[in-house]
Structure 1
Amino acid sequence: MINRDRILNLFLDLVKIDSPSLKEKDVADYLCSLMQDKGYDIIKDNAGKACGGNTGNIFVRIPATGDGESIAFSAHMDCVNPCCGVVPVVKDDVVYSSGDTVLGGDDKAGLAVMIEALKHLEEESIPHPEIYLMFSICEESGMHGAKNMDATLLPAKNVIVLDSGGAVGTIVIKAPAKAGIKIVFKGKSAHAGITPESGISAIQIAAEAVTHMNLLRIDKETTANLGSIEGGGSTNIVTEQVTLSAEARSTNEESLQSQLDHMKKCCVDAADKFGGACDFDYEISYPALHVDESSMLLAKVEQSCKNISLASSRVSTGGGSDSNILYGKGYGVLTLGIGMSKVHTVEEFIKIKSMTDCAELVAEIMKS
């Protein structure tokens, strides 16, 4: 049986450890100490150095005790702010934060689940194939841990990522690619009170461009949003330059490119209208994730749900995670719902039963 008190206490210990992105070392040290007590192979990579963090991703190898193909499980160690000084509150089988911070169930519940599942297999002497655990860094700040990971330390072909909301049994089979966009609008400065007609307002160009953009929900697979606009200064100077930051996402690569082309055209047309210029640059932050219906990993997870009488459901999500990066690196990937709710807010909570149910499911997946 999954040990309710043990997984709860582990989770409470984890959320009390401060771990904003780039500063996950204390959590990493705590997890390594747990794994070292078991004598597992533990290796830290250099992803932290690549992105300016104080630790790297942690990889743990658990030797096989039975037959089957090796499999990996992943969860991230960082949390979104405000995440320092978390005071967890347990009430009626639910864990909340005190209300001043996030709880950190995203994704410390995922960490606790995989560790408890492994302990369950060991206590019951249940055979399992070779298992790898990946404790990643900087997922919340742009998946920099996964992007800079040493893939040689994760040789398993398939990875289960424990990092999604939704009921236990939820399986994410589709997630969008994201393009980060930077647009620089260029006008011409002039004295706004004496010779305004000789100036070209970069703010006016930007306003014209934004007015004609299709934004927010584009279609069922595609979204676009403007994050910030910066530039300008004194009201007596026609603004020469402003910078606009935006993003676009889609599970359909053609739709994403179409949205990017549309946004760029709006900017170019606006610049031409007023005689200014613009630079439109974007970068694909992470690729789209598509799980094939014939995936053996998907079949295994759904059968595991049936084995423990748990209802499963396939879903699409509008957010990205380490799963997108791992999928782009060639891994077979599934993201599982672990029951966390209202993540990235100070109202975040998770039911203890969600963690125990998820640990039971993960243990079932881990079996030979």
Structure 2
Amino acid sequence: YDGGEVRLPSGAVLNHSNSPTLHALVGKTLVTTDGTTLLGGDDKAGVAIIMEVAHHLMERPNLAHGPLRILFTCDEEIGRGTDKIDLEKLGATVAYTIDGGGIGMIDVETFSADAMRVTFIGHNIHPAIAKGQMINSLRGAATFVDSLPKLDRTPETTSERDGFIHVHDIHGGVGRCEVDLILRSFVASQLDDFASLVIEAAEAAIAKTPGLRVEVQRRRQYRNLAEGLQTLPEAVALASQAFENLGHSHQLAIVRGGTDGSQLTEKGLPTPNLSSGQHNIHSVLEFACLDEMTVATEHAIELLRLWGEKRS
């Protein structure tokens, strides 16, 4: 990367305005798409790093480390990556997800998260004979979404430790319309406040359309991993030491999202999240930095060595 704009084949452009992390990546090797699709660095970057670690360990059987388990999961992006994991069979003391952005980050806090589905149930009939009979669930859904917070408590209006309510999908027709939302906060109790707001908005929406009904479902997804990490302080301390041993700066960070580690930690397996060189995740402007992925690989190997040393 030469420090200027990166023009992708689609015509999309990576620049310092839409990708501020580029400032620190001059001279580094970047991996992009053609600008029409995601790169999938979240979390193919992590998979590549883990496979490189495994390759390194197999090439160097004398490298000291304790028992190691490598685990790949699916459905992490919908909060179900750990549903089928048998922790007793896994037999691990500590785990690390390699699912973070950039370089030198140790994520020690995540959102707490719930999902909600608000279903509006109306009555469909041919428009020609609809007078006095049709009950349009789409109108109820539109009223509901419009009544939710717009100037705050949304992803596009929040940052740092602010939580939000996010409407991410609407599907259906006149007779039935489903609105899917996610609730996010670093404070789990705030999810109850958000859920109450959603329920109140749904009930207010159907009150404006006689005959319209509503059903509300709420599903627990994951919880902030901060509390669980306190049960094994070495999980973070050794990750920090590994960076220091390699001469790389690092910082303890919060992540405005979740990882499989959020659920694993809640289940009793402390699991911080580590950087994997990914940037602009879930965007057609997504890219990965090969040099940062190399550092992540070296860090994981040093971390394994430190844990092996601790166990000996």
**TM > 0.5 between the two?**
yes
Structure 2 match to 1:357: 295
Residues 47-196 of structure 1: pairs in structure 2 closer than 5 A: 93-99=29-35, 101-120=37-56, 123=60, 125-140=62-77, 142-167=78-103, 169-188=104-123, 196=131
TM-fit CA distance, 1:92: 6.0
> How many residues were matched structurally?
270
Structure 2 match to 1:207: 142
**Can you give the 5+ residue segments of structure 2 that lack an aligned partner in the other structure?**
1-26
TM-fit CA distance, 1:295: 2.0
Structure 2 match to 1:289: 225
Structure 1 runs of 4+ aligned residues shifted over 6 Å read none
Structure holding more strand per residue: 1
Secondary structure of residue in 2 paired with 1:132: coil
Normalising by structure 2, we get a TM-score of 0.75
Higher RCO (CA < 8 A, seq sep 6+): 2
Secondary structure of residue in 1 paired with 2:288: strand
Aligned-CA RMSD value: 2.8
**Can you give the 5+ residue segments of structure 1 that lack an aligned partner in the other structure?**
1-90, 233-238
- The correspondence for 2:258, drawn from 316, 320, 324, is 320
**Take 2:146 and 2:39, find their aligned partners in 1: how far apart are those partners?**
39
Structure 1 match to 2:171: 230
**Take 2:62 and 2:115, find their aligned partners in 1: how far apart are those partners?**
48
Structure 2 match to 1:246: 181
Provide Cα deviations, 1:25-45, integer angstroms capped at 9, x if missing partner. xxxxxxxxxxxxxxxxxxxxx
Structure 1 match to 2:246: 308
Calculate percent identity across the aligned residue pairs: 24
**Take 2:144 and 2:39, find their aligned partners in 1: how far apart are those partners?**
40
- The correspondence for 2:196, drawn from 253, 261, 277, is 261
Q: Give the letter for the 2:270 counterpart.
A: G
Q: Give the letter for the 1:231 counterpart.
A: G
Q: Give the letter for the 1:270 counterpart.
A: A
**Take 1:171 and 1:361, find their aligned partners in 2: how far apart are those partners?**
11
- The correspondence for 2:214, drawn from 273, 278, 301, is 278
Judge conservation of contact 2:183–2:191 (CA < 8 Å) in 1: yes
Q: Which moved more, 1:288-297 or 1:307-316?
A: 288-297
**Take 2:194 and 2:28, find their aligned partners in 1: how far apart are those partners?**
46
**Take 2:141 and 2:162, find their aligned partners in 1: how far apart are those partners?**
26
Rate the CA distance shift 1:190–1:345 in 2: closer, same or farther, 3 A.
closer
Rate the CA distance shift 1:166–1:274 in 2: closer, same or farther, 3 A.
same
